[in-house]
Amino acid sequence: MKIRVLGAHGSDLLLKGPTGSTICRSVGFLVNGELMVDAGTLASGLTLEEQQRVKHILLSHLHHDHIKGIPPLVDNLIGMIDHQVKVASLPSVIDGLQKHVFNDMVFPNFFNLKAPRHSLLRAQGLEAGKEVSVSAGISITPIPVNHTVETVGFVIRDDTAAWIYSGDTHHTEEIWKVAAQTPNLKGVFIEVSFPDSMMDIAIQSKHLTPTLLAQEYRKIGKPDLPLYAYHMKPSVREAILQEIAHLGIERLTVLEEGQELEL
């Protein structure tokens, strides 16, 4: 599987440092050019031709930094594609998306609106723990995690490889048990949002700090498993990076916008 990092952060920010600027964008990963895993960044990271190839969007939960790339995608694709883009998530997320975003007030309901022959978006309800196949020979299994709203992480696999995406989470158990038993597991993406100095905020908002990230990763019991950290709040990025450097986890990569991985 080819994974392209469109957004690796928990918000958007232009950071200026001594060696130049870094653009931080909200979470969104493009798999094999047609499957999005979360959609915090989507259209702003892709050409129109690339957007036309997107067939499936998986959402971990309803928070804004995970869904806000969908409306610009729809704006760009009206009249441009013949297929429907499937939006797959838990029923509560699909409902929330139509109630709070595509509600004919904030945005037209492109799950209903014919444009022109069929609706541009098509909902696909997912059930926790149940594997379903999505585009390009890829199967996904949603696994509940521990966040402030109903949230799932995903096991994403094809014939030869699997990887796990945590979604936004605090301390959790089930997804790490699944990780321990997943064959051909090539990597795990785990969120880290705040530095340890903001532990109280991390606990209240049900996120992880570097210390908590290491605790969650070690629950898998595979010390050689590549760990990819993402979802840093950009304003505290430097502090998180310094703490991550002291975790002692050998195969840890901090994801950045523009990176491409082959798993």
Write down the least CB distance from residue 137 to Zn ion, Å.
28
Beta-carbon count within 10 A of 18 CB: 4
Residues 94 and 87 sit within 8 Å (Cβ to Cβ): yes
Q: Which stretch binds Zn ion (CB under 5 A): 60-68, 114-122, 126-134, 236-244?
A: 60-68
* Closest approach of Zn ion to the CB of residue 134, in Å: 22
Task: Specify the residue, 56 or 63, whose C-beta has the smaller distance to Zn ion.
Answer: 63
Q: Is 25 in the site for Zn ion (CB under 5 A)?
A: no
Tokens, residue 241: 């990076």
65 binds Zn ion (CB under 5 A): yes
What's the rounded Cα separation, in Å, for the pair 171 and 199?
Answer: 13
Q: Which of 167, 143, 147 is nearest to 155 (CA)?
A: 143
**Length of the chain (residues):** 263
Q: How many residues bind Zn ion (CB under 5 A)?
A: 4
For the chain, what is the total number of helices (H) and then of strands (E)?
A: 8, 16
CB of 191 to Zn ion, least distance (A): 7
Nearest to Zn ion of 70, 185 (CB atom): 70
| Region from 9-17, 158-166, 174-182, 218-226 binding Zn ion, contact rule CB under 5 A | 9-17
| Beta strand spans in 1-131 (E) | 2-7, 13-17, 20-24, 28-31, 35-39, 56-58, 85-89, 121-125
Q: Minimal distance in Å, beta carbon 19 to Zn ion?
A: 28
Collapsed DSSP state (helix, strand, coil) of residue 47: coil
Minimum distance from residue 65 beta carbon to Zn ion (Å)? 4
For Zn ion, the closer of residues 65 and 216 by Cβ is 65
- The distance of closest approach from Cβ of residue 192 to Zn ion in the complex, given in angstroms and rounded to an integer, is 11
| Consecutive H or E run containing 133 | strand 132-134
> Looking at 9, 56, 63, 170, which residue binds Zn ion (CB under 5 A)?
63
Indicate which single residue of 168, 169, 175, 217 sits in contact with Zn ion (rule: CB under 5 A).
168
Strand pairing category for 151-157 and 138-145: antiparallel
Choose the binding region for Zn ion from 43-51, 135-143, 163-171, 239-247 (rule: CB under 5 A): 163-171
* Contacting range for Zn ion; rule: CB under 5 A; set: 10-18, 48-56, 173-181, 221-229: 10-18
**Owner of token pair 């798999």:** 31
Taking the C-alpha atoms of residue 120 and residue 81, their distance in angstroms, rounded to an integer, is 8
Residues that bind Zn ion (CB under 5 A): 10, 63, 65, 168
